[in-house]
Structures are given as structure tokens and as C-alpha cells.
Amino acid sequence: MPQQHMIALVFDYNLSYPRGVLRGVRQYAANRPDWTLVLHGSDGFTPRSMASLQGVGLISDITSVELAKTLQTLPQPVVNVTSVVPNLNFPCVSVDHNQVGRLAFQHLWDRGFRQFAFVGHPHHPYSYERENGFREALTEVGLTPECYYDRSRYAYRHRGRMLTVNSELQQWLRNLKKPVGVFACHDVWAVHVIGACRLTELRVPEDVAVIGVDNDDLLCELALPSLSSIHVPVEQIGYQAAALLDRLLKGEKRPEQPHLIPPVGVVARQSTDILAGADPDVTEALLFIRRNAHRPISVGELLRQVPVSRRSLEMRFRSLLERGIGEEIRRVHLERAKELLATSVLSVEEVAERSGFASAPYFARFFRQATRMTPSDYRRQFHGSLQH
């Protein structure tokens, strides 16, 4: 048996993000028989803790200044997997927060919203980088978001404290022009926004549509109504963090920039299940397209489901969504293909079939034209060497 190397995992594992990261680390370690993983809670971790483990390296979700200061004293290499504490100098693997913000905008825009708001924290990098992506996308269409910030010094979760439903948040929601799409930088805060809407007698999603980040299935399903959320590639983050630590242990130079992985997509639930300002015919057409994204759909078939003239429906689509019926069908098929490529090991041929494309060659050509990437290159962003 090879000599064992202790790898310390210092995490607050009460939420789905750190648990998913840990699963990814475990998958990498499965191919390293000389690694022994030792899990340690974030609270109370000290240099003496590391010495007692005889650890050679460490991976952590650094969510407090206190923990960051402790880890900076260690001689062992440390890889960070969060963007909560600003100005850290650790090698980092994380989601591309700017792209998260852009994806939130696109999801709400595609549902017809033209008034937008953001809930976050002004001093946490993951929050303001997500806000920046959201704001940049809005600027491109001539809009700006209303913003609400929690100004405490704490992160989204610290010793049980979370953003609270308070009168200030409720009043801010009351004052927003409706209907409005609200992007909360984290599922925890998105759930609180939904709670504040209920206390304020605002309807979700009719008055306020809400989308969060991390797709914490427990939080999302406990919310009333259930919460739409951006799926972050947590296992891939963990896998790549372990791979980075492995390279550092072998003497490789530490990277100057963080390794950023794009978000997987949006898991749509009831909190955004609406088309703002749409007439019933357009709503029915969009629901039909989304429910049949797994198979080919023709415009003629759609018109048999929505008995109006093609010209009339086309004009209404372009007025609301700024694209035609055929473009929307192809967009929905493409989004389904992206999700399958990011979350499964299906072959490209199977992805094409399950995304409603007529053939794999046509799918490959269309995908490359739309994304400037091949399906395999797109998948590689999420999977790398990760096996599911």
C-alpha cells in the first residue's frame, strides 16, 4: 500500500454547494490511492488542527476572514473554492460569477420581464461579480436594475445567521415597479425574498418573479412557491480543486488567475413560471415548446395546438420576445442540449436525439454556429476528466 497523504477538507457543509464540492473532491481522490481525505468543520480550525492531521494540503470553502487568516499561516498549499471573502491570495476554483449574472438576466428576459432587481451583498466578491454580470447584460438592452443590499459584515451563512425578512426588504419590494424579475445572488436570500413577498401580499411569480443560485434542492423545494435557481457545477469545481491541489503538491507553480467554470443552466420552478405581459396564446405556445423540448417540433404542429394565424402569433412573439417562433423553438432545443452535455455522459448522438434535433450532424453544425464551440468542447468545460 502506498504511503498515505492526508488531505484536509475544511468546510461548512450545511448547504448543498459545499456538499457538492466535497463529492467532486472524493471523485478525484478515488483515482489517488495515496490520498486520505479528512473532513474538518470551518469553525474552530487552527494551525494545530492541521498539524495533528499531518496534512500535506488543504481544500476549503473560505467564508470568513478569521478562517482566511488561519489558513494563510500554514506552510501547506491551500485551494479555495468560494468567493465570499475579498482580496484573498489563495489559488481558487469557482463558478464564473459574471456568467451566472448574465444567465439570470437571460432567464428573466426570456419570460418577458422588462423591469429587474437584484438582492445581494456589496462586499462579497461572488455577489458583486454576479451583480456585475446581471447589470452588464441589462445595460446592453438599455436597462438598469434596482438593488437591495444586506450590509452586515457576515457572509450568506455564518454561525446560523442569514439575511432576515425585515420591514426594509418588504418596503423595497413594495416600491418596485411590477411585474419585476428579481435575481438574488444565492438561494438562501432568494428564499427570503419569496418570504418577504408573502408577508407583503405580493404574488410570486405574477408580481415578483424570483431566481436564485446554487440549486439547493431542499431550499428550492421548501420555498412557497418553489424556487427557480441557477445550477452551479459544484462537483466539477471540487474535482478541479483537487486536481489543482495535486499539481501544487507535485511542485507546479500556482496559477495567477482563478479557474472559473461556467454555470450549467437554470432549473426552472414555480417562482419564474410565468410569461410577463403575454397574452394567453403566446403563453400556451411557449409552454408547448418547453414541454416538448425533447423532440422535434414544427411551427405547423405548434399552430395546431394554438389555433391562431401564423402571422398573428409570429408578430406577437416578436413583439414580446424579439424573436420569431422558429427561433424560439431552436433556442429551447439548444438550451436542453447544453443541459444534457453539462450534466450527463450521453453521446453527442443521444444528446441530439433527446434535444429534438433531426440528426447528429445537423445538431453539431447548429451548435457550433450558435456557440462557436463543438458539443464536445462545450462538455469539456464541465466534465474535464470528471466521470459520472
Side-chain half-sphere CA neighbours of 2 within 13 A: 9
**Which pLDDT score, from 0 to 100, does residue 216 have?**
92
**Which pLDDT score, from 0 to 100, does residue 193 have?**
96
**Which pLDDT score, from 0 to 100, does residue 258 have?**
95
Mean pLDDT by 10 residues, the chain (388 residues): 83 89 95 92 82 87 92 94 93 97 95 94 93 98 95 50 72 96 95 94 94 93 93 94 96 94 91 81 88 92 92 90 90 90 88 94 95 90 56
**Which pLDDT score, from 0 to 100, does residue 158 have?**
43
**Which pLDDT score, from 0 to 100, does residue 196 have?**
95
**Which pLDDT score, from 0 to 100, does residue 387 have?**
46
Which pairs from 167-174 meet CB under 8 Å and 24+ separation?
169/119, 169/193, 169/196, 170/196, 170/199, 170/200, 172/146, 172/148, 173/197, 173/200, 173/202, 173/208, 174/200, 174/202
**Which pLDDT score, from 0 to 100, does residue 303 have?**
93
**Which pLDDT score, from 0 to 100, does residue 215 have?**
92
- Compute the distance between CA of residue 135 and CA of residue 118 in angstroms, rounded to an integer: 9
**Which pLDDT score, from 0 to 100, does residue 7 have?**
95
